[in-house]
Structure 1
Amino acid sequence: MEELLQFLGDIPWWAWVLLLLFLVALYDVLQKKHTILHNFPIVGHIRYMLESIGPELRQYIVANNREELPFNRIERGWIYASAKNENNYEGFGTDRDIYEPNYIFVKNAMMPFKVAGKHVNKKDPYFLACAKVMGEGRRKRPFRPASVINVSAMSFGSLSARAVESLNIGCKLSHAYHNTGEGGLSPYHKKGGDVVFHFGTGYFGVRDSKGNFSMERMVQLVNDNPQVRAIEVKLSQGAKPGKGGVLPGSKISAEIAEIRNVVEGKDVLSPPTHSAFDGVDGLIDFVENIAEATGLPVGIKAAVGKLENWEELASKMEATGKGPDFITIDGGEGGTGAAPPSFADHVALPWIYGFSAVYQIFKKHNLCERTVFVGSGKLGFPAKAVMAFAMGVDCINVAREAMMAIGCIQAQICHTNRCPSGVATQDKWKQRGINVDAKSIRTSFYFKNFRKELLEMTHAAGYEHPAQFTMDDVDMATGDKDLINSLADIYYYHKVDVPFTGIKNIANCPYLGGSYNIKTEKKAVKKAMKKEEVRY
């Protein structure tokens, strides 16, 4: 035995390497699964390795600043800098092709809006609440969002516990609301921020033992959680409209089972359609029943395709005075939800086309004044927000932008449970990299700097609040012989004037959401900033 060990020890290292390469090459030639490995032993492995890290190589080395999708490097850099409260300016002029189709031009006024006297909010110069109230005059507990930018529907389960907690505390600090997503109301949504409870066809959190919607559970949830300020019924989402899904039993821990009212370790089906109602009449009755039982405003969320049902909904809402208090239009370009490429790429209209079509229908039926419109679909940038407000939006929901504020690096592997930043994974080790104190502050800074820049653009256009933007205030490059056209000329409508009597009056609204206490906010920010250690 000693002689054998001595013999093996005398073999030079390069001989071992050659032997290993020979065995790998032999395996490659004999295996039947991969043609490239059979035809090009050893070398074929290099090809597969480069393919696996191709996205990272393109993102950090190959692609230019404006080339990547869904968010390019300049867009991500603006979010990261805003969230860190660092300098988010750029110098030496724009590097955008300002003549490309769909380029946005915001028309500035010769004389900007003068911010002085009664127009100054001394508590918070960047206070920017929604100009409309959800359910005003119709519901027992109306709700005015205290921020025009809020966190969109993202479930605990798809996002990690620390990510959800960071977003909720950030919402509290910036007076925004936090949409729960359809995964139920988790303990991580209960950190002080206003909550919009969102549910889909699985009725997670408000379902009975057979998976049907339970009004009793809904009422109990609202009564037990006063931070729930509105309810949203998901008809479809931009990532995969009209498609159901399966939550594998392997992902259903005891905690998730309790939150969602499902059985631990057992597969759960979310069907494509709702079982609680049928048709437009059923939807209206369902919304009214929930609003009556809970006292809260109730809205719907959908991606837009065919318009017949939207026409029917608006017609019946006008005739009866019933129906949703707010409508969230999601862009068909997809979002945080994992989906087959055929759905994400081709099913449902992009936000700008879907929203303009629905808004025109509601305008025709005189519903725009009573309905709060929420836009969701890559609108988390001030210029895109201006465009959205000019088209008729009252609030904006952001999902991926909020994820980037707490550390998402656009790895685009959310659906694999391998998110490297700990944001979209249930991996305990990777979640530990999220410092909740630091990331919640970054969420609040992103919202603050977003509102600051949006307000500055609003003032430059001569207005006090972005709700005052009109379709003639924004031009867009169309690529045709007219070169650029106003939104009104492109989409053939003008938005309905939003009742607005000044930001100071909004701040005194009794239905205003958000624990609006600037002293508390400043103390929390200073405390958290002292603890901040994590960097992107």
Structure 2
Amino acid sequence: MAVVGWVAFGILLLVCAVAVYDVLQRRHSILRTFPVIGHLRFLLEDVGPELRQYIVTGNDEERPFSRDQRRWVYATAKRANANFGFGTDNDLELSANYLIVKPAVFPLPAPAPGDDHLECRKVLGAARGRARAFRPASVVNISGMSFGALSAPAIAALNKGAAIAGCLHNTGEGGVSDHHLQGGDLVFQIGTGYFGCRTPDGRFSLERLVELVGQHPIRALEIKLSQGAKPGLGGVLPAAKVTPEIARIRGVPVGQTCVSPSTHSAFSDVDSLLDTVEEIAAATGLPVGIKSAVGELGFWEDLANRMVSTGRGVDFITIDGGEGGTGAAPLAFSDHVALPFKLGFSRVHAIFAAAGLDERIVFVGSAKLGFPETALLAMAMGCDLVNVGREAMLALGCIQAQRCHTGHCPTGVATQSRWLTRGLDPQDKAARVANYVSGLRHDLLRLAHACAVSHPALVTLDSFEILDGHFGSRPAGEVFATPGAGTAKKWDDRVV
């Protein structure tokens, strides 16, 4: 019995030691928040592929991101081995809508390890003569995710990671907080609630916006018309998440549900939108763009026509797909409202290309584009930049628990709970975000070189085919037909 007692005491001592280590370490959010038992998650993750192979699901069956996709993001963020062995486990011949990149017989030499220098081919704002036009240093940037929807440590890690990687960090519509000021350059998003640039009664304030721009490292302004998660609806921040800090930043009451209207009050049609864009650009000197999911095309046709006829215009257009969005939404909206990115973007780009405006606008793609092959296709379709949202959350440690709307995110990413957020160390996660962005750029460059061009923006749709699941395929240029599809691209110094 004495031996049993000593063994039990030893086990208890070991458990206590592990618990103390877990609480004090800063590399794993799960372990800091759930000491000892959190190790079960990593154990299950290690043996998961073997269990799922025979019992549950395969590596490509989970949604919204498959296990293979998440494993690639996690490994890239940790600078671990991101290669996969024993060939693909996808059934290529029977997979419908499966993307194939067609390598050149004589590719360019592969980029050196760590080479991820990929700046935008256009100068943002130059075509319209904005005073503070600039060339984005990175083709991969962080999408709009507000403080409030995400936690303070998560926002701080994203911004510091953006600073390390040299990319832009979109604030989301929730305003600029101290957590956004960790060294990364910002794109300030203007939503329907005008948080950070509003009057006490919730109207847009140009004076407040100019003041905000003067105080913070804001490089561009994005007017959000809609987003992929819930186009046609405004944002909702539950009362439990409206802390005194968030209320101060947004200019709303503490502890009350914060609702963004479904539409803007500063403008109501294309003409007044363009007036607002030009007024903001003149007052701030910054490039001004719009973000929207895609539904009816009349708006885009009217916008292109009026840009040609009046000389007014936006500097960039961010297209969000209906399959995108980090925010919580009603199921009908998240599943059935707005076109998916590839369809929506190809139709909008075709409108502006037909009007001769495609080289005067910087096009930004958003919605599950945080993987090398999908980002490359987006750039071949006409995107100049890609924004990553949920993929950046995965780099932060998100485990796809899908509890973003509950306030109980176990990794501390999408919650305001002090207990849960304490597990997320901004220093460690910033490095992982930077590693992920750098790794995505590097793989984009590798794919471009495999297609025998020096930059992914020079890849054309001729380099892609779409498998149909019936032992056939279609050229991507036919599937996503746009004016100029399949033609060679060149650097245009008149634009850049």
Normalised by the length of structure 2, the TM-score is 0.85
Q: 2:136 aligns with which of 145, 167, 174?
A: 145
Is 2:81 the counterpart of 1:92?
no
CA deviation after TM superposition for structure 1 residue 249, in Å: 3.9
Q: Quote the residue 2:7 is aligned against.
A: none
Q: Quote the residue 2:481 is aligned against.
A: 492
Whichever residue aligns with residue 151 of structure 2, its letter is S
Residues 47-94 of structure 1: CA distance to partner in whole angstroms, max 9, x if unpaired? xxxxxxxxx999985221111000010000000000000110011111
Counterpart of 1:283 in 2: which secondary structure? Answer: helix
CA deviation after TM superposition for structure 1 residue 501, in Å: 7.4
**Alpha-carbon contact 1:391-1:487 (below 8 Å) kept:** no
Residues 136-179 of structure 1: CA distance to partner in whole angstroms, max 9, x if unpaired? 14200012211111110100000000001001101000001100
Counterpart of 2:405 in 1: which secondary structure? Answer: helix
Q: 2:423 aligns with which of 415, 429, 433?
A: 433
Q: Quote the residue 1:212 is aligned against.
A: 203
The residue correspondences of 1:434-473 to structure 2 (distance < 5 A) are: 434-473=424-463
Work out which of the two has the higher radius of gyration on C-alpha atoms and give 1 or 2: 1
The residue correspondences of 1:189-338 to structure 2 (distance < 5 A) are: 189-225=180-216, 227-338=217-328
Residues 93-150 of structure 1: CA distance to partner in whole angstroms, max 9, x if unpaired? 111121311111111111112479xxx9x9x731111111110142000122111111
Q: Quote the residue 1:104 is aligned against.
A: 99
Is 2:361 the counterpart of 1:359?
no
Q: Quote the residue 1:83 is aligned against.
A: 77
Residues 179-202 of structure 1: CA distance to partner in whole angstroms, max 9, x if unpaired? 000000111111111100002110
Given the superposition, is the C-alpha separation of residues 345 and 165 from structure 1 closer, same or farther in structure 2, using an over 3 Å criterion? same
- CA separation in 2, counterparts of 1:230 and 1:199? 11
Given the superposition, is the C-alpha separation of residues 497 and 282 from structure 1 closer, same or farther in structure 2, using an over 3 Å criterion? farther
Is 2:182 the counterpart of 1:171?
no
Whichever residue aligns with residue 69 of structure 1, its letter is R
**Alpha-carbon contact 1:402-1:443 (below 8 Å) kept:** yes
Q: Quote the residue 2:38 is aligned against.
A: none
Whichever residue aligns with residue 185 of structure 2, its letter is D
Counterpart of 1:343 in 2: which secondary structure? Answer: helix
Given the superposition, is the C-alpha separation of residues 323 and 189 from structure 1 closer, same or farther in structure 2, using an over 3 Å criterion? same
CA deviation after TM superposition for structure 1 residue 499, in Å: 4.7
Residues 288-314 of structure 1: CA distance to partner in whole angstroms, max 9, x if unpaired? 111111000000000001101110001
Percentage identity across aligned positions?
Answer: 52
CA deviation after TM superposition for structure 1 residue 436, in Å: 1.2
- CA separation in 2, counterparts of 1:299 and 1:353? 21
Whichever residue aligns with residue 187 of structure 1, its letter is D
- CA separation in 1, counterparts of 2:240 and 2:70? 33
Is 2:64 the counterpart of 1:70?
yes
- CA separation in 1, counterparts of 2:297 and 2:470? 27
Given the superposition, is the C-alpha separation of residues 87 and 268 from structure 1 closer, same or farther in structure 2, using an over 3 Å criterion? closer
- Structure 2 portions without partners, runs of 5+: 1-44
Given the superposition, is the C-alpha separation of residues 203 and 81 from structure 1 closer, same or farther in structure 2, using an over 3 Å criterion? same
**Alpha-carbon contact 1:317-1:323 (below 8 Å) kept:** yes
What is the total number of aligned residue pairs between the two structures? Answer: 442
CA deviation after TM superposition for structure 1 residue 246, in Å: 4.0
Normalised by the length of structure 1, the TM-score is 0.79
- CA separation in 1, counterparts of 2:240 and 2:145? 20
- CA separation in 2, counterparts of 1:497 and 1:260? 46
Counterpart of 2:174 in 1: which secondary structure? Answer: coil
Is 2:325 the counterpart of 1:340?
no
The residue correspondences of 1:349-388 to structure 2 (distance < 5 A) are: 349-388=339-378
**Alpha-carbon contact 1:131-1:499 (below 8 Å) kept:** no
Is 2:406 the counterpart of 1:416?
yes
Residues 381-421 of structure 1: CA distance to partner in whole angstroms, max 9, x if unpaired? 00111111111111110111000001000000100000000
Aligned-residue RMSD, C-alpha: 2.2
Counterpart of 1:102 in 2: which secondary structure? Answer: strand
Q: Quote the residue 2:14 is aligned against.
A: none
Given the superposition, is the C-alpha separation of residues 454 and 468 from structure 1 closer, same or farther in structure 2, using an over 3 Å criterion? same
Counterpart of 1:301 in 2: which secondary structure? Answer: strand
Whichever residue aligns with residue 218 of structure 1, its letter is L
Counterpart of 1:86 in 2: which secondary structure? Answer: coil
- CA separation in 1, counterparts of 2:416 and 2:231? 25
Is 2:174 the counterpart of 1:183?
yes
**Alpha-carbon contact 1:131-1:498 (below 8 Å) kept:** no
CA deviation after TM superposition for structure 1 residue 497, in Å: 6.2
Residues 244-268 of structure 1: CA distance to partner in whole angstroms, max 9, x if unpaired? 2443444322111111122223443
CA deviation after TM superposition for structure 1 residue 273, in Å: 0.8
Whichever residue aligns with residue 104 of structure 1, its letter is L
Counterpart of 2:462 in 1: which secondary structure? Answer: coil
- CA separation in 1, counterparts of 2:293 and 2:280? 22
- CA separation in 2, counterparts of 1:427 and 1:250? 9
- CA separation in 1, counterparts of 2:60 and 2:110? 34
- Structure 1 portions without partners, runs of 5+: 1-55, 510-536
Q: Quote the residue 2:26 is aligned against.
A: none
- CA separation in 2, counterparts of 1:411 and 1:239? 17
CA deviation after TM superposition for structure 1 residue 492, in Å: 2.3
Counterpart of 1:438 in 2: which secondary structure? Answer: helix
CA deviation after TM superposition for structure 1 residue 321, in Å: 2.2
